[in-house]
Structure 1
């Protein structure tokens, strides 16, 4: 029997082999190359995942877990024969326990669908990478976003995981409690592993109370360096900022054209404070504004209504697509370095100077409250190597400053070459772990390591 026919017989109604589907599952949102998988499998439960992995083991075919396809670093590109394991049908909210501030979900549920389902509980799931990513995919890349400065990223908000190994074994990792000291922390090993160690089939997530009072600001500066300095001053005070985002003038120009946003086209910090009392909120906001004015702030705008707040953060999340529309026909190299907070102004200054030195157009934006910023560099296809050279220099500078090559997007294919610089001999131990969990190298091979 043909191997694909055997797969269809094993998982009736759950295997798709149309060229359109095979191509859609062989690419992501940010990597310049595309591929084509052998087939797409749509499991509907953990037993389907086990069957697909055992089939793959028998036929020596690679398996690439797939969430919503919003990753950026080439993690979904097949490097040889592979099936895509699309977990979008495993999208149920299995349990909500408001009294314990947690919920249990399947990996294909998206973050927006989860928060919609939580309405009325007084709780929400805070990790917000912008895209409506699947929660399993967010855990697999250790995603974070605009609220990470207050609530943490996926690693801080995943209490437990169910994962299926390449041999079909099902593991329960972590516990539905705030802390545990029982044995090695295998759960966190799988968060950020990008599907190279196992397939996530269930997540227990930490939930947070909805803030009673919210204050959202836009503060404009004469330059990006002043905005970065202001962000450091705010964080250095220990103020409980919920969001602290940097957008440069190019990003705001793109948003004005794409969304008709009407923002002043100057570097800006978008901030948000969450508090349980109005008095605390006003005191924290006033201190932050004082610090930013000392750093050179020119103008302050407040988003006073909920609808205006939503528009502001939607604009921040649309910054990438706004730039894409501003530069039609271009490819984008997107960096996501992070440095210690005290070195952030220096890193931003270096990135801007390097863009000028290399004759590149690019913008700076990101989650500067975490020391994490992005540069988005649009280039024509023939200039792509030049932009990659910029990214490599920026990564080396970030590492020199004690930072990291990727704060949230993951490694995939694009950033593999930087791991020896960042981890040294520890990289060999990562390879030992990969060989232990996946001795045949069938789980998303060639990614991360």
Structure 2
């Protein structure tokens, strides 16, 4: 029998478990360990609450989780309850699938002012992550600046702009809906260092901004390159830029009270305010010959009492695991960290790719596990972990426990919503019955 421990129950973790099942069949036991009592990681607390079709991929993970060879071990924190060195003694392979849940710092003066938050915290707040449920973002209508030109920036802007009715079928948590239902009255400015041809926004997500009830997207036509230049883009990027051209051609004097302003060739250089964020100082940029953005020296201020940074994420270090500070992920060679220790998904490659990108990544890591160890061993695996956690009094949550938590969340949903999430770990544990 081969014993594998996967740390993290998000997409990378479950795809790795699925790959191990396909590779080793009945001769493998996979324990998926997560510090939260609930599984699915990014699917539960990272995907936008109004994108329910994307969240449906969790059904695939559930099918994997309900097999005899895979087990969910929730409410177990690696580092607090069990060490990596101990897991390496218990399992033939330990795979770090912890994702990249920490925000990269903006690194400009004033980025520590109240009102400035990272997207991991802000998205976690409206998605009900226990770490961020107590966040109190400044939603007083004084203007918002969203830094970044990717899909996360679009998610943040869209959630800020939507009406209560538009969020009705989502699983946004109640505390966030209560704060947002009054509407963010100020403009929402999306800052991007480079131009429309360099955005990392996909067509579907970008197109959604054109159909909001109380907000209208605004693009300065002068920021767009000649239309014939679009021919050099890949098809998806071309569709995204077509949306921007459509936005630029719209009347900016409509009835929608909120403007979502795309401010291209702009980078934040400071955040100012008396005791809180009040404005972002922005420098105009130009694209150099190498494609990078350089400052021009021209600056201006954008009013903002809320600043959300969507510039990337980092994987938190784990004691005893080599770490690449510059890349913000575990140091690895194509997934190999040390004998018996591997990384997969964002913990391996950094925060790039889609949810589906993690599937081939998981299969590639299992191939390496098979290459590195010819067969099973006499390591204790699952029984050894159970004995260790019992000795330490750890309250382990199983997948069956999760199903009871899930049923309780569904039962407490507001009308039209798929669920109302528990946002405190103790409430999750109590819901097991």
> TM-score by structure 2 length?
0.25
The structure with the greater share of residues assigned to helix is: 1
> TM-score by structure 1 length?
0.24
